[in-house]
Amino acid sequence: MSLHGRDLVSIRDLSRDEVLSVLDSARKMVPLAEGSRSSDALRGRIVAMAFFEPSTRTRLSFESAVQRLGGRCLTIADAGATSMRKGESLYDTIRMLSSYADAIVIRHPNEGAARLAARASERPVINAGDGAGQHPTQTLLDLATIQEAFGTLTGLKIVLLGDLKYGRTVHSLAYALAEFGSEVILTAPPGLRLPEDHREELRRLGARLSEQSDLRKAVREADVLYVTRIQKERFSDEDEYHAVAGSYRVDAALLEDAKPRMIVMHPLPRAGEIAPDVDGTKHAAYFRQSFLAVPVRMALLTAILGAARRGN
């Protein structure tokens, strides 16, 4: 089925074949993302970036993707500078924005905000992270990174380490890994385990899911060690945050027993959970992962918007 004109709110909005098609297209777009080839596939198209929560990678890689394909962006990077400050609702803001742009990319602190935006918008909406909900485009670039490293998304052992309670990147990625038949090993501090509703749903979908509280053992087993930051901004109780802050850290010494091809991933930003001495090891894949955001988002935007017609 074509992605043309569709919303992307949850990774589960995409079939396995649709994910593979985006990844295939993204591989071909790497030279465009590097700037060594040019394209005007989005010439004449405007994509709105509606960011109501801080972002470096997601917003700027989307903007890079649009601009490298000849399109333009309208950007809200500070909700305080919009009429929401005067009381305008998110629904009205998005409804209006959809008459100014051909697609809307939204990030919002509230889970469910992207679904609401999709209802409000007359144009396709892409979820760039909604609270502790989903981050489906991050999952696409995560899968691209894994596929590039191993040539497959199937039969791997992926350790998800960190804040599995509030981390939206892992909430999306776990479903995709289950869909592709890789094993998911959960390693989280007490209090930050993957919520039971996600576990139940993943098991219902046939996911191979296990837990490993010993980080050294998890690292020895892993093909991919996917590290996440503790999502400080989601805690309502500061004591709850301080009880888990700094409770895990990946450094070069920890990786000495890792499989030779094991890769360390992180959606970034990191906040101390990966030591800088990992950066120079053969395992570090997180900066490549952040680069792949551009070709993956190029591929997705092109599929949703369709390539520009010549002579428009």
Residues binding ligand CP (CB under 6 A):
55-58, 129, 138, 267-269
The nearer residue to ligand CP, 41 or 168, going by C-beta atoms, is 168
The nearer residue to ligand CP, 170 or 194, going by C-beta atoms, is 170
Catalytic residue among 59, 68, 135, 297: 135
Comparing C-alpha atoms, which of 153, 131, 112 is closest to residue 23? 153
Residues whose CB falls within 8 Å of the CB of residue 281, separated by 6 or more in sequence, listed in order:
252, 255, 264
Count of alpha carbons within 13 Å of 192, Cβ hemisphere only? Answer: 31
In the complex, minimum distance from the CB of residue 48 to ligand CP, in angstroms, rounded to a whole number: 16
- 86 as an active site residue: the answer is yes
Q: What single-letter DSSP state applies at residue 160?
A: E
Give the 3-state secondary structure of residue 183: strand
Comparing C-alpha atoms, which of 224, 278, 281, 214 is closest to residue 248? 214
In the complex, minimum distance from the CB of residue 289 to ligand CP, in angstroms, rounded to a whole number: 9
Residue nearest to ligand CP (CB): 58
Catalytic residue among 45, 57, 108, 123: 57
- 145 as an active site residue: the answer is no
The nearer residue to ligand CP, 113 or 258, going by C-beta atoms, is 113
What residue has token string 């509230």? 110
In the complex, minimum distance from the CB of residue 157 to ligand CP, in angstroms, rounded to a whole number: 23
Catalytic residue among 45, 59, 68, 107: 107
The nearer residue to ligand CP, 209 or 294, going by C-beta atoms, is 294
Inter-residue contact 168 to 297 (CB < 8 Å):
no
Catalytic residue among 45, 58, 137, 266: 58
Comparing C-alpha atoms, which of 136, 134, 155 is closest to residue 224? 155
Q: Which two tokens stand for residue 179?
A: 């869909």
- Show the 3-state SS of 248-261: CCECCCHHHHCCCC
Q: Is the dihedral of CA 152, 3, 59, 311 positive or negative?
A: positive
- 135 as an active site residue: the answer is yes
- 58 as an active site residue: the answer is yes
The nearer residue to ligand CP, 5 or 269, going by C-beta atoms, is 269
In the complex, minimum distance from the CB of residue 60 to ligand CP, in angstroms, rounded to a whole number: 8
In the complex, minimum distance from the CB of residue 51 to ligand CP, in angstroms, rounded to a whole number: 9
Would you please indicate which residues are annotated as catalytic (active-site) residues?
57-58, 86, 107, 135
